[in-house]
Amino acid sequence: CMNYLLPHSYAWGNFSVLAMGIWAIVQRDSLDAIMMFLTGLLLTVLTDIIHISIFYPSHDYLSDAKRFSIGMAIFSLLLKPVSCYLVYRMYRERGGE
């Protein structure tokens, strides 16, 4: 998000899932909040793969800031399956089936 390498939809998608995560943490008794957060995380995994694969720059135009930005986006993408697993465990603890 800091280098405007990826489109605005990347930032909006990830920040909206972050907002759903905060909502899921605040409302501890709501299954809907945790389910929407899990669905949003799974959806952003797919959209992040699409965004990174389409908007990855060629090596000729790769500055250090762009390399760092795309590296952090890939690192975030690699951590999302772990987050999905932890959120699923939280869903099961709250009584989800």
Task: Please name the helix (run of DSSP H) or strand (run of DSSP E) that holds residue 1, with its range, or none.
Answer: none
Give the pLDDT confidence score for residue 2 in this predicted structure.
66
- The alpha carbon of 65 is separated from its chain's Cα centroid by a whole number of angstroms, namely 21
Question: Where do the domains of the chain lie?
Answer: 29-95
What would the pLDDT profile of 9-62 be if each residue is shown by its tens digit? 999 999 999 999 999 999 988 899 999 999 999 999 999 999 999 988 777 778
Left (φ > 0), alpha (ψ -120 to 50) or beta: where does 95 sit? left
| Nearest by Cα to 44 from 68, 19, 10, 85 | 10
pTM value? 0.85
CA distance 85 to 80: 9
